[in-house]
Amino acid sequence: MSFLDSQDWTFPVPIAYGPGRLKEIAGFCRVAGMSNPLIVTDRGSASLAFIANLLRYLDEAGLDSALYSNISPNPRDEEIAAGRAQYRAGGHDGIIAIGGGSGMDGGKAITLVANNDIDLWAFEYEQPAPDMSAHPAFPPLICIPTTAGTGAETESTAMVTDTKQMMKWCVWHAQLKPSFAILDPEITVGLPADLTAWTGVDAMVHAIEAYCVPGFNPLCDGLALEGLRLVASWLPVAVAEPANLEARGAMLAGSCLAGVAFMKGLGLVHAISHMVGAEYDTQHGLTNAVILPAVLRFNAPAIGDRIGPMAQAMGLHDTSFDALYQKVVDILDTVDIPRTLAEIGVPADCAPRIAQKALQDSAAGTNPRALTEVEIQTVIDDALSFGR
């Protein structure tokens, strides 16, 4: 296929792919039943061109809208509560979640609680799902990624920081699905090289961790490998040639595939990264990228049957662990990822506390190698001082 052609996909939710698809937003809103959407994004995106364009497209089509942009790089529970209050005060009837992972996570979390008075943490992934039969339906939701990395556009899962415990938790509900996901490569063309790299490696981590989760799930496995193939091929191009629309489109597609794949689960990279982000507000994709090599080395004894297919997806003839590991390191070097957690401001004495929290993360439970708190601490120390 050409990544410059528009495509409409129906799995796992309706997805509109192609350059310029943001211009069709009013039509998608009407199909979803929205006439007055609340646009949710992160603080860093509020002044960018795609937000101004989105507001203009809605206004020109005669749709009311408002913007809520008080979302941190690692969304916080009080920000979700404030977003719910604005949604209700404005009489909104749907949510457009637009941005990177934080903007979309914020929008999805607000959608979970917008029409009910259920506590946000009742939607925590590991808890029994709230019975929604006595509550109004969730509002319609449209997700628009502005980075090619998070893959968060096809599900209701959202990572939110619990400000009392300073821990990140995943919230979701099976009955909430985006009405549409819009993948428009033109939106991502202006993304700086560092954010292109950080978010792109995030997609690579999603593909690798999802594929290595134990269990039989050929749907997710196939998506993970194709996502890994696209990201490994196109991420260096997207970083080196920021205006290359084909590379931007390939990365959006690869990120989306990897995002669907991780419904199978994730692993130790994310278990550690979630808690580092909650405490130190580090950028999520960058944190994942720095932690990945240490976790690959730790998990190597448990992923022997996974190495060959991943190596082939990344274009390697040598299907050994050493070759795969070196390919990953080469990509990290090419896109200028820092080598250690210490280099991105994570303090050297954090390992015991982060390890204790990471063991409680749902991603730790699907890591391919069984974990103890002491082993996690060793991996964190490795990522802090050696990295790769």
Residues of the chain with pLDDT under 50: none
Contact 170, 85 (CB under 8 A): no
CATH class of 191-385: mainly alpha
Q: What secondary structure, in 3-state letters, does the chain show?
A: CCCCCCEEECCCCCEEECCCHHHHHHHHHHHHCCCCCEEECCHHHCCCHHHHHHHHHHHHCCCCCEEECCCCCCCEHHHHHHHHHHHHHCCCCCEEEEECHHHHHHHHHHHHHCCCCCCHHHHECCCCCCCCCCCCCCCCEEEEECCCCCCHHHCCCEEEEECCCCEEEEECCCCCCCCEEEECHHHHCCCCHHHHHHHHHHHHHHHHHHHHCCCCCHHHHHHHHHHHHHHHHHHHHHHHCCCCHHHHHHHHHHHHHHHHHHHHCCCHHHHHHHHHHHHHCCCHHHHHHHHHHHHHHHHHHHCHHHHHHHHHHCCCCCCCHHHHHHHHHHHHHHCCCCCCCHHHCCCCCCHHHHHHHHCCCHHHHHCCCCCCHHHHHHHHHHHHHCCC
Q: Is the pTM of this model over 0.85?
A: yes
Tell me the HSE value of 8 on the side-chain side, using a 13 A CA sphere. 5
pLDDT, residue 90, reads 98
pLDDT score, position 339: 98
Q: Can you tell me the distance from the alpha carbon of 245 to that of 362, in angstroms, rounded to the nearest whole number?
A: 36
Both tokens of 276, joined, read 């580092």
pLDDT at 1: 67
Q: Which two tokens stand for residue 159?
A: 């990572």
Q: What pLDDT score was predicted for residue 2? A: 87
pLDDT for residue 196: 97
CATH top class, domain 7-187: alpha beta
What would the pLDDT profile of 113-171 be if each residue is shown by its tens digit? Answer: 999 999 999 999 989 999 999 999 999 999 999 999 989 999 999 999 999 999 999 99
Question: What are 172-208's pLDDT values in tens digits?
Answer: 999 999 999 999 999 999 899 999 999 999 999 999 9
Per-domain residue ranges for the chain? 7-187, 191-385
Beta bridge partners of 67: 39
Do 7-187 and 191-385 fold alike per CATH? no
pLDDT at position 273: 98
What is the Cα–Cα distance from 75 to 259, expressed in whole angstroms? 19
